[in-house]
Structure 1
Amino acid sequence: MTVAGWPEEETDGPAASAGRWRRQWIRIGRRLAALAEAEGDRWVLWLPVAFGAGVSLYFGLMREPDRWIGPAACGGCVVLLLVLRRWFALFGAVMALSMVAAGFLVAQGHSAGVAAPVLTRVITGATVTGRVMAVERRPGAVRVTLRNPTVSRLPPERTPAALRIRLSDRHAVPEPGSVISLRATLLPPQAPAEPGAFDFQRRAWFMGLGGTGFATGAAELVEAPPVTGWRVVTVAFEQARGAIAERVAATIGDPVEASVTTALLNGEQFGIPDGTLEDFRNSGLAHLLSISGLHVGIAAGILFYVVRALLALVPYVALRWPIKKIAALFGILSALAYTLLVGAPLPTVRSVLMTGMVMGAIMLDRHPLSMRLVAFAGLVTIAMDPEGMLGPSFQMSFAAVVALIAAFERGSPRLAEWRSGAGWFLRGLLYVGGILLTSVVATLATLPFALFHFQQIAFYGVLSNLIAIPITSFWVMPWSLIAYALMPFGLEAPALIAMNWGDRAVIWTAEFFGRLPWASLTVPAMPVEGFAVLVLGGIWLCIWTRRWRWLGLLPVLAGLASPALVTRPDVLVAGDGSVMAVRTPDGRLSASGKTGGRVTETWRERDGERSGADPWPAAGGWSEGERSLSCDALGCLYRVRGRVVALPRLPDALDEDCGAADAVVTAAVARGCRAGVVVDRWALRHEGSHALRVTAEGIEVETVRGIRGDRPWTGGR
């Protein structure tokens, strides 16, 4: 007999056991199907995630794919969608696969679209002529970006589309839009300092930047800025940024306060002293110095409420015109103007897009805060700049927004219930609690990305933001808008002084919390695999609304624990062989030369250390446990776990070291060296920076080229 279609359950035997397992799996499947059906309106939110996965797939390849692969994958997915349109589950799976293919195609097409020559060697004494399209003022120097330059020692087909050159501030600063000529030393974009570190070559490729350099003299004016054409707007805003910096410096005497005020008005952070930047980072307030969604949203919000209030004062207008929608339009325009004024960096462009969508939703009588809105904004911004998706700015800004909206979706019903009928005191408490909750949620959401990109945790970030964000929102930004409005008339000084009072309070907050004991903690670099698992877990937590969302905590915790599973290298070698480092018994790195450069600073940060060990001695060394370093005039020998790594300073030591050491690391050419591992000039030139790990089984070697492969931005094809 059967009951409900099932055979009678046997009490023992293999058949009974198999039947029980089969029924258990059926029940699990039905339960999952019920959960999936209950979350039906949320599945669409995974499409931007799939799109981003396609972008990541493109950048994760070891060689550049053939041009037909992206279009063929998209075309195949379209055919499958047409064939499977009647089967909902299969259709949804293929739709996700189609978004992966679309992301891959967009990244591939964007890479091909920005292709331009890149310097592959150092060029000294070159005469460079080009149009100044950006001017960045730094302490002691000015950095200019030249578009469509000509270089005396390069043919046109090998000349980069843009060069970034540093000038001394002892000479006159070139005017944006002008064509200048100068003598300079040009350098290729810098490769990663170690395998897995930040890849400036890739970022420069997508910026259209083919090289950097420094001028060896003053720049000569060849042509004045244009007075007609499309460049006029760009030049005008670039000139406005310079004028803002000059007026702030003339009004505010303290250079630190002036630099912070300038950063908030025109987006230039280059004049802020390193000590102040460190205080802002340690206190968790660094995001206030970077023009981002917070600033754009505040600027648009202030103008939205001001315009709406002014229109409401006129009864005829308030009763007959859609003043809320008109105010939203002004909010969009203010966000656009603010973005152009601060130089339109990519984070600000993304913020304007999201702000425009919020204001657009108000104009269309739609809910302005929704996860679908953020999903669409993410999809558009990834399509605009696929490579930017890999950077901290994109990831941290969207992580904070997604987490805040997820928290708003869950907490808004209860908050509305509390606010109904509440008096002024309770409303004030709810406001303070809202700021505190916002700070906590945003801090927790961006913490994993700070760990991955900067290896840093700011312990007092919630408290510092609780003080600094209200000051920025209700004092600094309103006065900045007033200062903008008064600058054309030369009356901005009172507004700048009032704005600076708020900036002074924010700086004090950063200094106070940034210098407290245990203000921040540095940790070793997180592996890419752990970061990917963590991000997927966080997305799972924020997208779903049912209890199964809490399963996302498991990959989040696994990702946070992943740095503990990574063994940092025992020996590190810069790509040009100029500096090497070995690990001391206390776990820090000891470098072969002067510390404090870009390479050694990157090594130290990825180690999670605030300071490195003493440099290698000219003679003598140290020994403790299984690690020792002994040096003489010819070079050094590093012993760890019973193996010997030779680090010769002079080629004369190569013959002896190659016959006795397990590994030889040198900046010279080591032809015919018999050591098991040889890292010499040719290996460094071809493979880039090297990382060596000494294990009981042998010596593992990891290189920059082995991690990145051969891609257009690495010089590969």
Structure 2
Amino acid sequence: MGIVDIAASPSPGPVAGLPARALAVMRRRLEAERERWVLWLPVLLGSGIALYFELPVEPPQWVGVAIVGLGVLLAWSAMAGMPVRPLALAVIAFGAGFGVATWRTAQMAAPVLARAYGPAAVEGRVVEVTLLPGGRRLVLDDVVLRGLRREETPARVRVSLTRGGGERLATGDRITLVAALSPPPGPAAPGAFDFQRFAWFARIGAVGYAVGRPTIIQAGQPSGIIMWIDELRRRLSARLVAVLPGDAGALAAALVAGDQSGISKDTMQAMRDSGLAHLLSISGLHISFAALLVMGLVRYGLAAVPRLALRYPIKKWAALAGVLGALFYTMLAGAPVPAQRSFLMLAIVLLAVLTDRTALTMRLVCWAAVVILLLLPESLVGASFQLSFAAVVGLVAAWEAWRPWQVRREAGQAPTFPGRVGGYVAASLFTTLVASIATAGFSAYHFNRLSLVGILANLLAVPLTGIWVMPWGLAALLLLPFGGEALALVPMGWGIDAIMWVAREAASWPAAATMTPAMPGASLWLLTLGGLWLCLWRTSWRWWGLAPVALAMALGPLHRPPDILVSGDARLVGVRTADGGMLLSSGRIERFTGESWVRRAGVEQAGLWPVGTESADGRLRCDALGCIYRRDGRRIAIVSKVDALVDDCDAVDMILSLVPVRRRCPAVRQVVDRFDIWRNGAHAVWLQDDGDLRIESTRQARGERPWVPKPETRPRPAETGNDRRGSPGRREERPRRNQNLR
């Protein structure tokens, strides 16, 4: 049944036309790729998850079940003789993805702080301690906030210790501290990273900072395996940093325990610009070394006992030990998505050893993706999942294409030492090139930055990591219980210093990395579809995937950044200059938001607004009451004081007010004031070529979803009849706008 039955049906006649002939060609192509159909299972599953996260409203939970039910009906029709079995399976997989995402969102629901709280006393149990370059960051559960009912209190809060005092804290301690909390912040701009969605799935309902040192109410012990491993990771990181201070210890903690929080900003930027940041993410290289070390110790240890080696399958015992060792190391690293993927693939390979079967490489990736998507559907929309699977799918596809050529080349030739060395260098260069190409588009989409020297830097750093750094790191883990970790960490530090030298040298080269403006959401869809089409199929039609990839990259330069941006708290405003740069209203307020805007604009750094004068391009002119932004004959007033409205209400096309507008401006086409920003979050404004104004808020971009907070309904002053137009007598007494702004 299925495609075979369709393909076997009589061919369409001449009158059927081009569509029918194209459909027949598609059927024959699909039949030739029959063994690869299963690889599209996680793609269909992920498509259902992706559609769920793209919806502007939260769907009912029965929708996913209904889609799966439709697929079951189609499968029943296939049993009755209708050739729709492949379609039925596709619908079931799609519905399962949609349904599991809906269910997961409902399961992770927890109270979110409605408004700013404190500074006031916060009590809770420490469930996570993260080392930062300037202190520590805590995650507390079982939280008590005085003045809030239990149903209003967040399940978890995240607090940064800005004044020290966290050195003695351990997971499980119950503490109290004075902190200022606020709801998780929304995106810095429409389309930017959604921290509120991330916090929802972590059940974090408030974030903030401590204004004093924490006090331990009751020393506790980690409860449960997760908290125990978190505490073990914290202690491990502390001991690594104690032996290797500074960035060397922070990088050691990242490589061994997956803790990147202690790395300084400059070093992390150098790692990114040189294309070496992937070394800090616990993934295939690290998990494989952990498993191989455990397997080697167990197998060679058992082989030293002849009675065991001759009577029992010690190879399978070693494989089982390798799985358990890799599982422990994955959990020790915090189980990030790349580590989960690597562990699942490794576990399937070793399971094949246990069952005396051969594993199929691309199917490893397939089933690893299925498991992760079913357990953590929200990981699909994260950069970690996309980059990790893009790299491994590209590498496996390249290996599948390259392997037959290598076998033919090496047939009948005895390997020599120079040949082995040359082969290793060539393989390192080839894999680095493939991984860089496979992840380039996703890196540009998520981080607005591309490394141009990554191949050379990786050619030096990857072998150094695998041959020198990681073996010493695993040796340090074995010596840790005996207090002898310094014996391994010191030589490990030599290798880390060399890696940092490579990163800094490569990052210092001219044009080592280039900034890329924000890309539209369609680019991500096209990149994914084109890349999967190129990698999952094996016949010649796989090259059709280059078309959507090229289109995705072409859409980037065509996607114009907004002309004006205002933050969700109305404290920061940015405007676009004539040369594509950006000017910010402040260099100290909302620094994270400003950095996000600059990165998404594709520029290295922003300038500051002119004070009492105009910008170099003449677009922006400011005085004490606000600014006027001009472009193509249109004028937008950026009002910082209400007195500016006296003149601006009659002289501009749009008012963007950082204060409430308490008067009507009938001559103005659009008015966005502090109340609009408060209700709908950060705003972006585009001055269209056709003379129109396009305004988008983060609420409009995200829709009404569970993680998008619903603001309190507070009436606008104008809606209550409080229309303060100002009498002629009072107007003369108010400050007037600088005449040059008119």
SS in 2 for 1:382: helix
**AA aligned opposite 1:132:** V
How far is the alpha carbon of 1:234 from its aligned partner? 3.8
How far is the alpha carbon of 1:88 from its aligned partner? 6.7
How far is the alpha carbon of 1:289 from its aligned partner? 1.3
* Partner Cα separation in structure 2 for residue 43 and residue 242 of structure 1: 44
- Judged with a 3 Å threshold, the aligned counterparts in structure 2 of structure 1 residues 87 and 48 are, in CA distance, closer, same or farther, namely farther
Matched, 1:343 2:334: yes
- Per the alignment, residue 471 of structure 1 pairs with 464
**AA aligned opposite 2:171:** P
- Per the alignment, residue 229 of structure 2 pairs with 237
Q: Is 1:140–1:169's contact at 8 Å kept on the other side of the alignment?
A: no
How far is the alpha carbon of 1:456 from its aligned partner? 1.1
Q: Is 1:131–1:149's contact at 8 Å kept on the other side of the alignment?
A: yes
Q: Is 1:263–1:290's contact at 8 Å kept on the other side of the alignment?
A: yes
Matched, 1:587 2:554: no
How far is the alpha carbon of 1:337 from its aligned partner? 1.6
- Per the alignment, residue 665 of structure 2 pairs with 673
1:520-559 aligned at under 5 Å gives the runs 520-559=513-552
- Per the alignment, residue 69 of structure 1 pairs with 63
Task: Give CA deviations for 1:136-169 in whole Å, capped at 9, x if unaligned.
Answer: 1112221110012111131100111100011135
- Per the alignment, residue 633 of structure 2 pairs with 642
- Per the alignment, residue 563 of structure 1 pairs with 556
Task: Give CA deviations for 1:386-406 in whole Å, capped at 9, x if unaligned.
Answer: 111101111111111111111
- Per the alignment, residue 258 of structure 1 pairs with 249
Higher mean displacement: 490-499 or 164-173? 164-173
Gaps of 5+ in 2: 1-8, 712-742
How far is the alpha carbon of 1:716 from its aligned partner? 4.9
SS in 1 for 2:191: coil
How far is the alpha carbon of 1:30 from its aligned partner? 3.6
Task: Give CA deviations for 1:70-96 in whole Å, capped at 9, x if unaligned.
Answer: 222222322222123345741211211
SS in 1 for 2:707: helix
How far is the alpha carbon of 1:651 from its aligned partner? 0.6
**AA aligned opposite 2:216:** L
- Per the alignment, residue 10 of structure 1 pairs with none
- Judged with a 3 Å threshold, the aligned counterparts in structure 2 of structure 1 residues 620 and 372 are, in CA distance, closer, same or farther, namely same
- Per the alignment, residue 211 of structure 1 pairs with 206
Amino-acid identity (%)? 41
**AA aligned opposite 2:428:** I
Task: Give CA deviations for 1:409-455 in whole Å, capped at 9, x if unaligned.
Answer: 22222223334433222232222211211111111111111011001
* Partner Cα separation in structure 2 for residue 436 and residue 552 of structure 1: 24
Q: Is 1:264–1:289's contact at 8 Å kept on the other side of the alignment?
A: yes
- Per the alignment, residue 453 of structure 1 pairs with 446
Task: Name the TM-score, length of structure 1 as normaliser.
Answer: 0.93
Aligned length in residues: 696
- Per the alignment, residue 97 of structure 2 pairs with 103
* Partner Cα separation in structure 2 for residue 19 and residue 80 of structure 1: 28
* Partner Cα separation in structure 2 for residue 341 and residue 169 of structure 1: 28
Matched, 1:684 2:677: yes
**AA aligned opposite 2:146:** S
- Judged with a 3 Å threshold, the aligned counterparts in structure 2 of structure 1 residues 391 and 374 are, in CA distance, closer, same or farther, namely same
- Judged with a 3 Å threshold, the aligned counterparts in structure 2 of structure 1 residues 241 and 464 are, in CA distance, closer, same or farther, namely same
- Per the alignment, residue 84 of structure 2 pairs with 90
How far is the alpha carbon of 1:385 from its aligned partner? 1.1
Equivalent of 2:287 in 273, 291, 296: 296
* Partner Cα separation in structure 1 for residue 477 and residue 198 of structure 2: 32
- Per the alignment, residue 178 of structure 1 pairs with 173
SS in 2 for 1:246: helix
Q: Is 1:534–1:556's contact at 8 Å kept on the other side of the alignment?
A: yes
- Per the alignment, residue 13 of structure 1 pairs with none
- Judged with a 3 Å threshold, the aligned counterparts in structure 2 of structure 1 residues 308 and 245 are, in CA distance, closer, same or farther, namely same
Higher mean displacement: 555-564 or 24-33? 24-33
Matched, 1:381 2:376: no
**AA aligned opposite 1:653:** A
* Partner Cα separation in structure 2 for residue 239 and residue 62 of structure 1: 39
- Per the alignment, residue 725 of structure 2 pairs with none
* Partner Cα separation in structure 1 for residue 297 and residue 458 of structure 2: 25
- Per the alignment, residue 482 of structure 2 pairs with 489
- Judged with a 3 Å threshold, the aligned counterparts in structure 2 of structure 1 residues 111 and 44 are, in CA distance, closer, same or farther, namely same
SS in 2 for 1:180: strand
**AA aligned opposite 2:85:** F
- Per the alignment, residue 515 of structure 1 pairs with 508
* Partner Cα separation in structure 1 for residue 148 and residue 201 of structure 2: 22
SS in 2 for 1:714: coil
SS in 2 for 1:142: strand
Equivalent of 1:415 in 389, 406, 409: 406
* Partner Cα separation in structure 2 for residue 126 and residue 565 of structure 1: 49
- Per the alignment, residue 121 of structure 1 pairs with 115
Task: Give CA deviations for 1:76-135 in whole Å, capped at 9, x if unaligned.
Answer: 322222123345741211211121111110000000000000112111122211110100
**AA aligned opposite 2:515:** T
- Per the alignment, residue 726 of structure 2 pairs with none
How far is the alpha carbon of 1:172 from its aligned partner? 4.1
* Partner Cα separation in structure 1 for residue 594 and residue 510 of structure 2: 25
Matched, 1:198 2:190: no
SS in 1 for 2:157: strand
* Partner Cα separation in structure 2 for residue 338 and residue 401 of structure 1: 20
SS in 1 for 2:129: strand
Task: Name the TM-score, length of structure 2 as normaliser.
Answer: 0.90
**AA aligned opposite 1:368:** A
* Partner Cα separation in structure 1 for residue 82 and residue 263 of structure 2: 56
**AA aligned opposite 1:363:** L
Equivalent of 2:239 in 205, 225, 247: 247
* Partner Cα separation in structure 1 for residue 239 and residue 701 of structure 2: 47
* Partner Cα separation in structure 2 for residue 434 and residue 311 of structure 1: 34
Equivalent of 2:124 in 120, 130, 136: 130
Task: Give CA deviations for 1:197-242 in whole Å, capped at 9, x if unaligned.
Answer: 0000001001111110111212111221137xxx154444333333
How far is the alpha carbon of 1:340 from its aligned partner? 2.6
- Per the alignment, residue 609 of structure 2 pairs with 616
- Per the alignment, residue 346 of structure 2 pairs with 355
* Partner Cα separation in structure 1 for residue 220 and residue 563 of structure 2: 53
- Judged with a 3 Å threshold, the aligned counterparts in structure 2 of structure 1 residues 313 and 433 are, in CA distance, closer, same or farther, namely farther
Matched, 1:153 2:144: no
Gaps of 5+ in 1: 8-17
* Partner Cα separation in structure 2 for residue 615 and residue 408 of structure 1: 50
Q: Is 2:302–2:314's contact at 8 Å kept on the other side of the alignment?
A: yes
How far is the alpha carbon of 1:333 from its aligned partner? 1.3
